[in-house]
């Protein structure tokens, strides 16, 4: 069971004590991601993520890395469409050092001009790396076109022009506006005492001042599209998105999880069994759901040879039609529920996973469900919920498609 406390400066701490473990995972979650950026500062959230590792008033970049590395711990971060997380995982006896390092990064990072210029080159290389990854490229191109003219469609990394034009004062303006305690959550999970850890966090973050962090986003419009991108690679990567639902309605969210599991979310799913096992047309094929505060997508991904793309695409559309017209069986629904519960409980054995789940849910949904809540949500999915979510999501009028590969302009979709 988790405990929660909000400090005077608005920083909310959520903790889950697991006394039989020897590790602790602690993450600082900030409600700042690419969705609140503009075309002019696209990529700034991700850029700030990098800059917090480049040195503080108290530690060099190397000292930040070495202090956690030397303890056998992990210090890392990631930026998503809607939030950023900086986190550590350490033995419980070293958590004071982890809190000190993270607070130093948040409160005392230098944003040195020379480091800013150097990091532009690093992220340009990161952009090139993703462009060389056809599955990432196909997904990014798809989002860019599905959500055209909306920040949700912009690349989390930004682009070459925005990176080139970043100035220290603009980066700091954005940082000082959104990276504030009342727009943040600290999530901690593992072997600790909640009341003691709250006092330590309160001491380290007492100078972090609350400010108004006004975040206003509009619901993105889903634009159906077919995108083709030529790239000299051995396979064609196929990415498909169906317009789905936002994360706000628990009944719909878990109904979609049950359906996705049957459709393409596991190796026993329809897509995997039909297109890989029966037809032998792909090595990799799966579906997954990505849900935001205002919208969501059901993504379908496959990679195959040029000569097989049209057949694979047709088979996927056939499976969409089949599930829309006939739904799923009661047996499939039951098996999917059991699979989801098993997967969820196994995932709960990781302090990192629990910390991530608690932090993100509190930050983005302002609520955290305990284990029994989740199991109840899954158990309480009824057949009528499944039917409603299939009718809402499995609609080929709201579909976006992107293929990346050699000579794809000749492929007919």
- Residues tagged active-site: 49
228: number of CA atoms within 13 Å, CB side? 11
| Cα distance between residue 167 and residue 381, in whole Å | 50
Q: Where are any strands of DSSP class E within 23-69?
A: 23-30
Residue 411 sits at φ, ψ, to 5 deg, of -85, 130
Closest CA to 183 of 208, 202, 210: 210
Q: Is the dihedral of CA 222, 243, 33, 30 positive or negative?
A: positive
| Contact in structure between 101 and 67 (CB atoms under 8 Å) | yes
List the structure tokens of 122: 């690093």
| Cα distance between residue 65 and residue 55, in whole Å | 10
55 — alpha (psi -120 to 50), left (phi > 0) or beta?
A: left
Burial class (CB in 10 A: 0-12, 13-18, 19+), 291: buried
CA distances from 59 to 65, 66, 205, 262 (A): 10, 10, 17, 50
| Cα distance between residue 184 and residue 14, in whole Å | 11
Q: Which three-class secondary structure state does DSSP give residue 355?
A: helix
| Cα distance between residue 61 and residue 74, in whole Å | 15
Neighbours of 315 (CB within 10 A): 20
CA 220 to chain centre: 18
| Cα distance between residue 410 and residue 320, in whole Å | 24
Which contiguous run of DSSP H or E holds residue 232? none
CA distances from 293 to 44, 327, 367, 391, 392 (A): 21, 27, 13, 21, 17
| Cα distance between residue 187 and residue 194, in whole Å | 11
């Amino acid at each position: 069971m988790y405990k929660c406390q909000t400090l005077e400066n608005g920083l909310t701490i959520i903790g889950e004590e697991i006394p039989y473990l020897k590790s602790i995972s602690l993450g600082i979650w900030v409600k700042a991601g690419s969705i609140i950026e503009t075309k002019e500062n696209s990529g700034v959230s991700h850029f700030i993520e990098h800059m917090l590792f480049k040195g503080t008033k108290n530690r060099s970049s190397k000292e930040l890395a070495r202090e956690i590395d030397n303890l056998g711990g992990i210090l890392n971060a990631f930026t998503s469409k809607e939030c950023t997380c900086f986190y550590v995982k350490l033995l419980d006896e070293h958590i004071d050092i982890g809190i000190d390092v993270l607070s130093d990064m948040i409160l005392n990072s230098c944003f040195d001009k020379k480091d800013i210029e150097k990091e532009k080159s690093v992220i340009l290389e990161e952009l090139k790396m993703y462009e060389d990854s056809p599955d990432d490229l196909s997904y990014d191109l798809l989002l860019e076109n599905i959500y055209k003219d909306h920040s949700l469609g912009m690349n989390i990394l930004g682009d070459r022009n925005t990176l080139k034009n970043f100035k220290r004062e603009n980066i700091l303006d954005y940082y000082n506006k959104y990276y504030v305690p009342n727009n943040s959550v600290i999530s901690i999970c593992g072997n600790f005492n909640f009341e003691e850890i709250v006092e330590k966090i309160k001491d380290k973050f007492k100078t972090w001042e609350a400010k108004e962090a006004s975040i206003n986003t509009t619901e993105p419009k889903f634009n159906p599209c077919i995108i083709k991108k030529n790239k000299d690679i051995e396979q064609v990567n196929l990415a498909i998105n169906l317009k789905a639902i936002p994360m706000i309605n628990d009944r719909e969210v878990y109904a979609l999880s049950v359906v996705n599991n049957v459709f393409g979310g596991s190796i026993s799913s329809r897509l995997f069994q039909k297109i890989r096992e029966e037809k032998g047309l792909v090595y990799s094929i799966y579906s997954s759901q990505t849900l935001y505060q205002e919208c969501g997508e059901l993504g379908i991904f496959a990679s195959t040879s040029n000569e097989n793309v049209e057949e694979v695409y047709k088979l996927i559309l056939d499976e969409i039609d089949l599930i829309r017209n006939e739904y799923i069986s009661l047996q499939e629904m039951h098996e999917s529920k059991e699979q989801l519960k098993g997967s969820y409980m196994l995932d709960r054995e990781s302090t990192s996973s629990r910390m991530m789940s608690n932090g993100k849910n509190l930050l983005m949904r302002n609520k955290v469900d305990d284990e029994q809540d989740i199991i109840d949500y899954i158990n309480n999915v009824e057949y009528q919920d499944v039917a409603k979510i299939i009718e809402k999501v499995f609609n080929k009028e709201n579909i976006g498609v992107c293929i990346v590969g050699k000579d794809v302009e000749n492929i007919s979709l």
